[in-house]
Structure 1
């Protein structure tokens, strides 16, 4: 979305929401209009929580299987946007928010977005994190324990606490 559209949307969306409030408030009354806005905010927070936890579980499953969870990450962003839209008072933003909670709508969004991304799988850290496998460290590598190796300090180093004569300076 070009940035020149954003200021226009920031002007049009609130005006459209005000218009929707007026029309719906005239038809069903102010109390029921405000009750609907409150209800959609509560429902949106519940949906965000339920679908968000399910999505985190699917992302973990994809990563454990060694696959890049691109689709799940995009779905996660769309679910977060849907939650924000549902928490924002207004009927138009609520309608868009509810649509983003529908998996088929998110899949359609993913289909439009995925052609713009390049997924590069460069390997991972594995289940052991940053810990290095000491067996088979590679050619030219000598694997020693700390007790097997000692380095004498450089006597000419300015960081050496002892002077060249071996005494503290």
Structure 2
């Protein structure tokens, strides 16, 4: 018996990675190089202090947006918990996910991410992104198996009313209630 030796399988090749898993690291690297190049280009034209002010302004604006969207989400949660039977009313501008994503993209240093964050915050483009992403998630996850499909189905069921199963809570720390055949307490 040897320790540390890997067992050979019938197929000794490593499992294939999907195309997205191969391209995501390359995309992140290209994005980072573009951000740095654009920042140096702007710094050469407008000066280093201007770039610094843009980056600090992006962080401040992004944190404000995330704080505001988080506060709205917290208020909706407390309202839905205070009225147990009612489902929360949909917001006129939609959910907070794209707003929070926009704030996060504003906080990431770089001008391309700031532009993408502003697209997530501007109402017409946010509605377009929401519809496009909703259709893609429906196609990718709703019909297929896996954690994404299951999470999407659960979110859809929760939003549309879902199925409620009535039940009874039985606590172990309380003594059983006296019933017709149970022990009688002395009077």
Q: Could you say whether these structures have the same fold, taking a TM-score greater than 0.5 normalized by the shorter chain as the test?
A: yes
RMSD of Structure 2 on Structure 1 (CA): 3.6
* Residue pair 1:37, 1:89 contacting (<8 A) in 2 also: yes
Q: Which one of 86, 98, 111 corresponds to residue 131 of structure 2?
A: 111
Larger Cα-atom Rg: 1
User: What secondary structure, in the 3-state scheme, does the structure 1 residue paired with 2:96 have?
Assistant: helix
Superposed CA deviations along residues 77-104 of structure 1, whole A, max 9, x for unmatched, are 2223222211111111111112112232
* Residue pair 2:59, 2:108 contacting (<8 A) in 1 also: yes
1:147: which partner in 2? 178
Distance of 1:57 and 1:102 partners within structure 2: 22
- Gaps of at least 5 residues in structure 1 are 134-144, 152-169
* Residue pair 1:21, 1:90 contacting (<8 A) in 2 also: yes
TM-score calculated relative to the size of structure 2:
0.57
Distance of 2:107 and 2:129 partners within structure 1: 21
1:30: which partner in 2? 48
Count of aligned pairs:
135
User: What secondary structure, in the 3-state scheme, does the structure 2 residue paired with 1:54 have?
Assistant: helix
Q: Which one of 35, 41, 51 corresponds to residue 17 of structure 1?
A: 35
Decide whether aligned partners of structure 1 residues 67 and 54 sit closer, same or farther in structure 2, where only a CA change above 3 A counts.
closer
* Residue pair 2:105, 2:113 contacting (<8 A) in 1 also: yes
- Gaps of at least 5 residues in structure 2 are 1-18, 143-152, 170-175
User: What secondary structure, in the 3-state scheme, does the structure 2 residue paired with 1:4 have?
Assistant: helix
2:106: which partner in 1? 86
Q: State how 1:89-104 maps to structure 2 within 5 Å.
A: 89-104=109-124
Higher RCO (CA < 8 A, seq sep 6+)? 1
How far is 1:9 from its partner?
Answer: 1.4
Decide whether aligned partners of structure 1 residues 90 and 5 sit closer, same or farther in structure 2, where only a CA change above 3 A counts.
same
TM-score calculated relative to the size of structure 1:
0.62
Superposed CA deviations along residues 42-82 of structure 1, whole A, max 9, x for unmatched, are 0111122123323444566689653686998x832222322
Distance of 2:98 and 2:70 partners within structure 1: 10
